[in-house]
């Protein structure tokens, strides 16, 4: 990270929380990098044989690359390149992975073709928690097209793809949009990305497929009652602070809020305004809590009242539920969003900028480690850092 990059703002709890967050970051990076590119380790015997092979010149470059590659999937792809083109090798590997993952769901399934072809006991490696695992089919064909647009590797006639290039293709495949979920409204909406015809689109996942049982128990009349109380508190608070003509009310299915219309009134958003929005958020929160104390039907319904920077919203639900939403099939039991993308609370990081008492990121700490950023620029710095760490393997 460059010296000019602004210092990361971690939890107000101090240096200990910062150290814990960075350890969580390291675990997350290691987990992500091993999802496909499994631990590339060599025994001392392997190292000696490679050295002897170089001295005697009895290994071709492709053979040497295969010996250096302890990753079973990439080793298989290197073997395929001896007989197939890169495009064909990616297609075959993609189909083998899909078959392997389907068989992994059955305890009595016979060894798959992938476990037979991939070296070094790949079935154990691909499923073992020690090295990570393949969690879903890899779109290697699509990843190759994207990678080839920049590297033009398929244009080479005499020099085959290298281990590093195959690793990059595999990394790109696991980052494709089929793994991207979008949780909105704290925990009220779930969308998933998919690519069709080279175009990435979002589609809404039906609530029956992912909502937790706790969320299913929320009744419409209870939701509306909670939002009515929050709406009244927001409007009363805005009037008390002489902001009624500067905010716009927005009512949604599971949220209500006010937008500060600074541009409309030719005013700038300044520190005083931020404090007033904080006041609105706390006022609405206290009003809803008071209603919950007197209304037993609303007592168990979580909510989040927060200052979003230019608005104040009260949402039903919270981000800790959003991180743990059930997106697994019913026969698999509890399968949270973290498990779907191959992560645990210890290897998950929630990055946000609203960790104050009136922010909506605070509750995410119940579900995973967190990083507190202050701007999109800091977010970009962290993402670039993660990509660099991932590239190092």
| pLDDT the model gives residue 132 | 34
| pLDDT the model gives residue 382 | 75
Mean pLDDT of 157-172: 84
Nearest partner of 393 among 8, 64, 71, 21, judged by Cα:
71
Q: Dump pLDDT digits (tens) for 242-293.
A: 988 889 999 998 899 999 886 665 555 555 688 889 899 999 999 999 999 9
Q: Dump pLDDT digits (tens) for 125-135.
A: 333 322 235 55
Instruction: Please give the Cα distance from 77 to 80 (Å, whole number).
Output: 5
Indicate the DSSP class of residue 332: G
The distance of Cα 95 from the centroid of its chain, to the nearest Å, equals 25
Residue 85 has pLDDT above 90, yes or no: yes
Cite the DSSP H helix spans in 152-270: 163-174, 213-216, 220-240
Instruction: Please give the Cα distance from 327 to 337 (Å, whole number).
Output: 6
Q: Which of 84-98, 102-116, 143-157, 262-276 has the lowest mean pLDDT?
A: 262-276
Q: Dump pLDDT digits (tens) for 19-61.
A: 344 334 434 433 333 333 222 223 333 333 333 333 333 445 4
Q: Which two tokens stand for residue 125?
A: 């490696």
Q: Are 187 and 325 in contact (CB under 8 A)?
A: yes
Task: Tell me the β-bridge partners of 311.
Answer: 259
């Amino acid at each position: 990270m460059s010296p000019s990059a602004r210092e990361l703002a971690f939890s107000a709890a101090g240096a200990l929380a910062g150290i814990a967050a960075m350890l969580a970051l390291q675990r997350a990076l290691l987990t992500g990098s091993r999802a496909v590119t499994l631990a590339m380790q060599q025994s001392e015997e392997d190292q000696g044989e490679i050295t002897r092979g170089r001295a005697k010149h009895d290994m071709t470059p492709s053979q040497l690359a295969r010996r250096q590659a302890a990753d079973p999937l990439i080793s298989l792809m290197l073997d395929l390149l001896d007989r197939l083109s890169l495009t064909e090798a990616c297609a075959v590997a993609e189909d083998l992975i899909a078959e392997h993952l389907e068989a992994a769901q059955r305890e009595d399934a016979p060894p798959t073709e992938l476990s037979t072809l991939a070296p070094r006991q790949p079935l154990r490696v691909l499923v073992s928690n020690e090295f990570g695992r393949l969690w879903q089919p890899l779109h290697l064909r699509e990843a190759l097209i994207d990678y080839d647009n920049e590297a033009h590797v398929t244009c080479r006639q005499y020099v085959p793809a290298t281990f590093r290039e195959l690793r990059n293709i595999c990394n790109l495949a696991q980052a494709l949009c089929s793994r991207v979920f979008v949780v909105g409204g704290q925990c009220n909406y779930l969308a998933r990305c998919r690519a069709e015809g080279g175009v990435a689109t979002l589609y809404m996942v039906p609530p029956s497929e992912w909502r937790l049982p706790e969320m299913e128990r929320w009744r419409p009349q209870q939701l509306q009652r909670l939002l009515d109380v929050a709406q009244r508190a927001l409007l009363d608070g805005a009037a008390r602070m002489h902001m009624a003509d500067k905010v716009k009310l927005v009512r949604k299915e599971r949220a209500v809020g006010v937008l500060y219309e600074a541009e409309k009134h030719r005013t700038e958003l300044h520190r005083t305004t931020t404090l007033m929005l904080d006041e609105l958020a706390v006022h609405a929160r206290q009003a809803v809590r008071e209603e919950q104390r007197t209304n037993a039907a609303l007592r168990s319904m979580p909510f989040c009242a927060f200052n979003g920077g230019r608005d104040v919203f009260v949402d039903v639900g919270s981000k800790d539920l959003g991180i743990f939403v059930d997106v697994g099939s019913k026969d698999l039991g509890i399968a949270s969003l973290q498990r779907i993308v191959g992560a645990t609370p210890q290897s998950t990081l929630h990055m946000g900028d609203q960790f104050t008492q009136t922010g909506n990121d605070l509750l995410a700490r119940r579900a995973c480690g967190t990083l507190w950023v202050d701007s999109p620029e800091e977010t970009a710095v962290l993402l670039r850092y993660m990509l660099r760490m991932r590239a190092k393997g």
